[in-house]
Amino acid sequence: MKLILKIILFNLLLNNLLDCKMDKMLNVPTKRWKDKKIKLSKVPQQMNKQMGVVNTIGVKPIGYELDGDIKVFKLIAQPVEKYFTDAIDVNEHYIPKHNLYTNRMKSIKKKVRVWGYNGSMPGPTIEVFKGDRVRIIFKNELPEPSSIHWHGIELPNSQDGSGGVTEPPVEPGESKIYEFTFHQEGTFLYHSGFNMMKQDMYGLSGVIVVHPKEYKKKIDKDFVILLQEWVFLPGNKNPNLASMDFNWFTFNGLVAPSIPALTIKKGERMRIRFGNLSMHSHPIHIHGYSMPWVGTDGGPIPENSVFNVSTINIPPGATRDLEFVAWNPGIWRIHCHKLHHIVNSHAEIPMTIMPRGGMFTFLYVIDDKNEKWVHPSQINKCSNKFSKSLFSDKRNILSNTKEVLKQEDSISKDTDIKKDENESNTKNIIFNNANT
């Protein structure tokens, strides 16, 4: 243990020394994370106002103000200091006590310095409807120029947010207004549009949800999960932006055991929207379910092309939507199936029994009625039997109905014959009387 502590301390000192030397060599100011001369604004009043339905677990929502028919959002790019994890297991109370295994390594706290929007990393999810016109007021309080790119949105070139290409980047302390209309529906992303190699990896990112004017099926719970990955040297709060040896993997800026579970009642319909603004693809697996894949960053998938998956792979810069009914009660794991991505820190020490870490949380489906477990296919079989029985009954009813109709037709024909006979007899009598 003493040797491990010495290695960590040595790495920390070496990293700080290299940082200082590199800054001097490249003439980079030491205010790389935060410029103390820039006074940080208070969080906009619209923050923490749930005006939509989406739950970006662990991230505060954002509301909007109205200027006529235009929805006005405010985003401030700022330095953010936060915990990836405070080492407290937020989901342990869902697990039956007799199933808990505690004889393992303890989770460690991780505090980081990153960049975000409105004091949050990732930024708040922007939630609108197809056809909405928005105005987004962007203010830059970072120590370098920035802009916002609206990833996957079809809009005028002047609003694309490619700093240095479609617009001059927004200087520190300055502001810019973006304004456009959403003509698509689905799950999209926003992130820095200037010096992306650094700023995106520093955390400047968020999700955009564009609802259709009306869903064909009511969604009871709508969740968003944004995937990111990081490199931190031991004991250092600042990410190493030049390295590809990622050792921290986050859902919505959090790692297990600090990622809240997705909770829903049995029988409710849910949608999970994944977005990936990291360097690698992540195959996300959900236990207990095979789920329809209903959307991509290109929008909804046509119903005749939808198919089920239990693991959904999300490439960099892409989004994927799953939608299903929570029929299977219990506590189910949700995690990346690149298994190094569910361990925190990746320190080069002997692995024992590891605690949950990285991209790992739970889907908790509540069964209030505590009903007997039944698979949907069994319900369908029962439905088919009922349908067959119903069809058989209908066929018998139809057969009986035909018999009744035959009898009525026969009676009707007999009646017509008798009517004809009577009419004929009457005519004969009248004819005979006339001759007489």
At 421 the pLDDT is: 55
Rg (CA), the chain: 33
Place of tokens 């040896």: 245
CB 203 within 8 A of CB 114: yes
Q: What is the pLDDT of residues 298-351, one digit of tens each?
A: 999 999 999 999 999 999 999 999 999 999 999 999 999 999 999 999 877 677
pTM value? 0.81
Which structure tokens are listed for 311?
């693991």
Q: Which percentage of the chain shows pLDDT scores above 90? A: 72
Least confident of 36-50, 210-224, 343-357: 343-357
Q: How many CA atoms lie within 13 A of 30 on its CB side?
A: 8
pLDDT band at 370 (very low <50, low <70, confident <90, very high): confident
Residue 421: which H helix or E strand, with range? helix 376-435
pLDDT band at 23 (very low <50, low <70, confident <90, very high): very low
For the chain, give every domain's residue range. Answer: 1-30, 31-366, 387-436
Q: What is the mean pLDDT of the chain?
A: 86
* pLDDT exceeds cutoff 90 at 389: no
What mean pLDDT comes out for the span 233-243?
A: 92
CA distance 106 to 352: 11
Q: Which of 368, 350, 326 is nearest to 105 (CA)?
A: 350
Q: Which of 201, 323, 185, 187 is nearest to 250 (CA)?
A: 201
Beta strands 221-230 and 269-276: pairing type? parallel
Q: Looking at per-residue confidence, does 255 or 31 come out higher? A: 255
Give pairs for 396-405: CB < 8 Å, separation 24+.
Answer: none
At 14 the pLDDT is: 53
What mean pLDDT comes out for the span 2-22?
A: 52
What mean pLDDT comes out for the span 185-194?
A: 98
Residue 412: which H helix or E strand, with range? helix 376-435
At 103 the pLDDT is: 82
At 416 the pLDDT is: 54
Sorted by sequence, the CB contacts under 8 Å of residue 280 that are 6+ apart come out as: 229, 246, 316, 338
* Among 98-102, 104-108, 247-251, the range of highest mean pLDDT: 247-251
At 435 the pLDDT is: 47
CATH of domain 31-366: 2.60.40.420
What mean pLDDT comes out for the span 270-279?
A: 98
At 422 the pLDDT is: 53
Residues 19, 21, 25: CA angle, nearest 5 degrees: 115
